[in-house]
C-alpha cells in the first residue's frame, strides 16, 4: 500500500464531522442540479439479458413508456445502459452498444427534453458518441476508468458529470473470490487516487459510487453499507446502487423479482449513511423512501 495514501487516509479519519462540506449540486448543460435532498435515478436496461429486467425496453414504445414512468413516479434521472454487467453476461461490441443506446437516447430527448439523462457505459467512444449526437448527459462508468484508458480524458473534454464507481477485476472475473484486507479502506484509497486524477484533468462534477456487488462478496457489501458514511470524506455526491441485487435475494433465499422489500430496507440504510442518489428499478418506492428518511432527518 502506498504510504502517502495510507497517511492521507489516517488524516481523513481524524477530521471531525462538522468539517465536512459535501458538494450539494452538479452542473449539466449549464443547468444546476441540486442535491440538497437525495434523488432517484431510474434504471432503463436496453439489454436482452440483464439480471432483472432484461428484454423489457427494446422498442421505442417501451422506452417511451419506461421514461414516462420514471419521471411520473418522481425520478429525477433516467439511466440507460446497453451492456449487461452481470457475471457470465455475453460480450457486446462497441457498435452494438451504440445501436442500442442511440435510439433510446433520441427518444428520451425528443419526448422528455428536460429529463436528466445518464448513460451507463465504460467505453469512452460510446460516451462521446451519445453526447455528441444527443446532447450532454451524465457518464455512469461501472469500471471507474479501468476498462478504457481514454474515459477520464473524455469526461474532462466533454465537461459532463461523471459517476466514478469502484470495480475489482472485470465483469467476467469480479465475483471470482474477491479479496480485501479492509474493503472500505481499500476502496477509499483507490477512489481517492482517481478523484485526484479527474480533478487534475478538469472534471468538476464527480459522483462517487462504492460499487455494491462489483467485485465484492456479500460480507464486503454489507460492510460497505454499514460504513457508508466513510465516503463523506470525498465531500462529493454519493450514489448507491443496491436495487434487487444478489446481496439481497441470495441472503433471503428468494429471487430478484421478490426483492423489492429487501431493496427498500437497504435503500433506507444507504440514505441514513449519506447516499445522495439511489439508482433503482422501482422508482415510486424509492421516492417514498427518500421522503420518509428526509422527514426523519429534519
Confidence of residue 18 (pLDDT cuts 50, 70, 90): very low
Confidence of residue 4 (pLDDT cuts 50, 70, 90): very low
Q: Does the pLDDT value for residue 218 go beyond 50?
A: yes
* Count of C-beta atoms within a 10 Å radius of residue 99: 13
Using CA atoms, how far apart are residues 230 and 77, in angstroms rounded to an integer? 25
150 is catalytic: no
Of 245, 250, 284, 291, which residue is the catalytic one? 245
What's residue 8's pLDDT? Answer: 47
Minimal CA–CA distance to 33: which of 280, 277, 278, 296?
A: 277
8 is catalytic: no
What's residue 55's pLDDT? Answer: 54
27-37 pLDDT tens trace: 999 999 999 99
- Lowest pLDDT segment from 4-8, 209-213, 231-235, 255-259: 4-8
Of 279, 291, 297, 298, which residue is the catalytic one? 279
Q: Does the pLDDT value for residue 144 go beyond 50?
A: yes
Instruction: Find the mean pLDDT for residues 176-200.
Output: 94
Report the percentage of the chain scoring pLDDT > 70: 87
Q: Are 60 and 193 in contact (CB under 8 A)?
A: no
Question: Can you give the chain as a three-state secondary structure string?
Answer: CCHHHHHHHHHHHHCCHHHCCCCCEEEECCEEEECCCCEEEEEEECCCCCCCCCCCCCCHHHHHHHHHHHHHCCCCEEEEECCCCCCCCCCCCHHHHHHHHHHHHHHHHHHCCCCEEEEECCCHHHHHHHHHHHCCCEEEECCCCCCCCCHHHHHHHHCCCEEEECCCCCCCCCCCCCCCCCHHHHHHHHHHHHHHHHHHHCCCCEEEECCCCCCCCHHHHHHHHHCHHHHHHHCCCEEECCCCCHHHHHHHCCCHHHCHHHHHHHHHHHHHCCCCEEEECCHHHHHHHHHHHHHHHC
Q: Which CATH class is domain 3-297?
A: alpha beta
- Lowest pLDDT segment from 51-55, 227-231, 257-261: 51-55
Using CA atoms, how far apart are residues 175 and 215, in angstroms rounded to an integer? 5
Give the HSE-up count for residue 146: Cα atoms under 13 Å, Cβ half-sphere: 17
- Class of residue 284 by CB neighbours under 10 A (exposed 0-12, middle 13-18, buried 19+): middle
Tell how strand 277-280 and strand 239-240 pair up.
parallel
Using CA atoms, how far apart are residues 224 and 182, in angstroms rounded to an integer? 10
130-142 pLDDT tens trace: 999 999 999 999 9
pTM: 0.90
Q: Does the pLDDT value for residue 283 go beyond 90?
A: yes
What's residue 87's pLDDT? Answer: 63
Report the alpha-carbon angle 213-283-252, nearest 5. 45
36-88 pLDDT tens trace: 999 999 999 998 755 445 556 778 999 999 999 999 999 999 999 999 776 65
User: What residue segments make up the domains of the chain, in order of their start?
Assistant: 3-297
Minimal CA–CA distance to 234: which of 22, 3, 4, 15?
A: 22
What's residue 58's pLDDT? Answer: 73
Amino acid at each position: 500500500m502506498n504510504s502517502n495514501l495510507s497517511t492521507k487516509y489516517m488524516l481523513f479519519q481524524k477530521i471531525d464531522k462538522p468539517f465536512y462540506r459535501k458538494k450539494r449540486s452538479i452542473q449539466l448543460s449549464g443547468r444546476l442540479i441540486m442535491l440538497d435532498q437525495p434523488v432517484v435515478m431510474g434504471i432503463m436496461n436496453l439489454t436482452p439479458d440483464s439480471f432483472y429486467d432484461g428484454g423489457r425496453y427494446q422498442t421505442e414504445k417501451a422506452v417511451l413508456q419506461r421514461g414516462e414512468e420514471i419521471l411520473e413516479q418522481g425520478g429525477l434521472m433516467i439511466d440507460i445502459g446497453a451492456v449487461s454487467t452481470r457475471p457470465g453476461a455475453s460480450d457486446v461490441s462497441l457498435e452494438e452498444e451504440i445501436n442500442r443506446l442511440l435510439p433510446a437516447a433520441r427518444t428520451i430527448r425528443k419526448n422528455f427534453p428536460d429529463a436528466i439523462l445518464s448513460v451507463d457505459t465504460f467505453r469512452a467512444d460510446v460516451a462521446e458518441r451519445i453526447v455528441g449526437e444527443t446532447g450532454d448527459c451524465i457518464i455512469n462508468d461501472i469500471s471507474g476508468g479501468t476498462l478504457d484508458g481514454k474515459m477520464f480524458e473524455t469526461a474532462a473534454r466533454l465537461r459532463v458529470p461523471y459517476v466514478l464507481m469502484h470495480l475489482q477485476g472485470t465483469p467476467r472475473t469480479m465475483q471470482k473470490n474477491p479479496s480485501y484486507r479492509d474493503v472500505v479502506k481499500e476502496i477509499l484509497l483507490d477512489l481517492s487516487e482517481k478523484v485526484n486524477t479527474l480533478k487534475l484533468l478538469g472534471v468538476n462534477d464527480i459522483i462517487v459510487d462504492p460499487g455494491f456487488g462489483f467485485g465484492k462478496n456479500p460480507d464486503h457489501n454489507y460492510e460497505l453499507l454499514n460504513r457508508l458514511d466513510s465516503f463523506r470524506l470525498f465531500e462529493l455526491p454519493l450514489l448507491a446502487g443496491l436495487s434487487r441485487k444478489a446481496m439481497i435475494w441470495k441472503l433471503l433465499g428468494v429471487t430478484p423479482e421478490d426483492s423489492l422489500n429487501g431493496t427498500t430496507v437497504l435503500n433506507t440504510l444507504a440514505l441514513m449513511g449519506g447516499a445522495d442518489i439511489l439508482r433503482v428499478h422501482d422508482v415510486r418506492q424509492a421516492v417514498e423512501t427518500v421522503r420518509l428518511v428526509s422527514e426523519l432527518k429534519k
